[in-house]
Amino acid sequence: MKPLSNRTEHLSDSSIRRMTRIALECGAINLSQGFPDFDPPECIMRRLAEIATEGPHQYSPTWGAANYRAALARKVSHWMGIPVDPNENLLATVGSTEAMMASLMAVTNPGDKVAIFSPFFENYEAQSLLLGCEPIYVPLRPPENNFDPNELEDAFKQGVKAMIVCNPSNPNGKVFTKEELQIIADLAIKYDVYIIMDEVYEHIIFAPHVHTYMASLPGMWERTISCSSLSKTYSITGWRLGYIVACKKIMDSCKKTHDFLTVCAPSPLQEAIITGLELPDSYYLDLQAHYTHMKDLFCGGLRNLGFDFIEPQGSYFLLVDIGKYAKGDDVAFCERLAREVGVAVVPGSTFYKEEVHHLARFHFAKKDKTLIAALDRLADIGKLE
């Protein structure tokens, strides 16, 4: 029998989804895979119920339904401060995962180099490798999670074609300042590098930090691909509604890759979310307040239990020091934590190219009672020493 494709030989299954499977097996509270346990806004659920009867239930145009793209373009233009044409600059995708893959396929060829900050969301490395690209890693250094501009330039000097930047960052909750983004932008222009932004947590920012869109910086609209989704903003991770925003030249290439990857995003869900896209600014302020409350509740509880961590500036993730218990094997520790303590988290080594085995990623997009229950269980972590 002929050998299988070598595209997957350097990949393993997702550690995040693996920890979810373990959580389901043993009844652990799932603080590993980042989805909330609370409902989307009522207006969205009501509209979804109507769509179940009214439709649409067939394919939408591959770029996205016209009324969905129009509503999305209005929302994106408002927050990015850039006029986004729904026909020329926007593409509906199946989640931000497909958005990132379609973007990488649009600007890279096999053998190209892709710069990635470390720690990184595991998909970035996997997608680069699947496309035959070579990841080049640039460290974010604790405690501030800053990068060294000289190290970044050294990476670009290696002939990088594109760079992936997650802002706010998964897994460490870093929000890149405008000054940091400008450094990246200046180097991208100098070395002719495309920047692929993952901005799915753009509305989950904790004061005094603010979100700056890379595409809004001088000279960056022409070389930035902004990928995002509606999953986190509206608590609909299972709907798989993502999108790409880019200049027409890049977008035309993205549309070609998307068409042959997934055909179209789910038509009924495109229609149902339009009411969410039309919510006023007050919704996003309330969303920030809600997540700030969850962050404060969970981080305060972790501090009371004696855990060390860097408080996130955005997103709903944080990296927690579990070195005292893991003793150099974070993977085995996280499995024991799920099975013996009843809390599922992700081994920190999942997110690093460096040898890092003393961290675990926790998430706090949960109801108060879920977070309190998780903290109560974590009080028994001493039995794992």
**Digit-coded pLDDT (tens) for 317-352:** 999 999 999 999 999 999 999 999 999 999 999 999
Domains, in order of start, for the chain: 6-40+282-384 (3.90.1150.10), 42-277 (3.40.640.10)
pTM of the model: 0.96
User: 198 has which bridge partners?
Assistant: 166, 227
Provide the pLDDT for residue 12: 78
Buried b (16+ CB within 10 A) or exposed e, 252-278: ebbbebbeeebebbbbbbbbbbbbbbe
- Kindly indicate the confidence band of residue 5, based on its pLDDT and cuts at 50, 70 and 90: confident
Provide the pLDDT for residue 373: 98
Q: How many CB atoms lie within 10 A of CB 161?
A: 19
14 burial type by CB count under 10 A (0-12 exposed, 13-18 middle, 19+ buried): middle
CA distance 195 to 1: 41
Provide the pLDDT for residue 379: 96
**Digit-coded pLDDT (tens) for 10-54:** 777 889 999 899 999 999 999 999 999 999 999 999 999 999 999
**Digit-coded pLDDT (tens) for 303-312:** 999 999 999 9
- Flag whether pLDDT at 4 surpasses 90: no
Provide the pLDDT for residue 49: 97
- Kindly indicate the confidence band of residue 249, based on its pLDDT and cuts at 50, 70 and 90: very high
- Kindly indicate the confidence band of residue 7, based on its pLDDT and cuts at 50, 70 and 90: confident
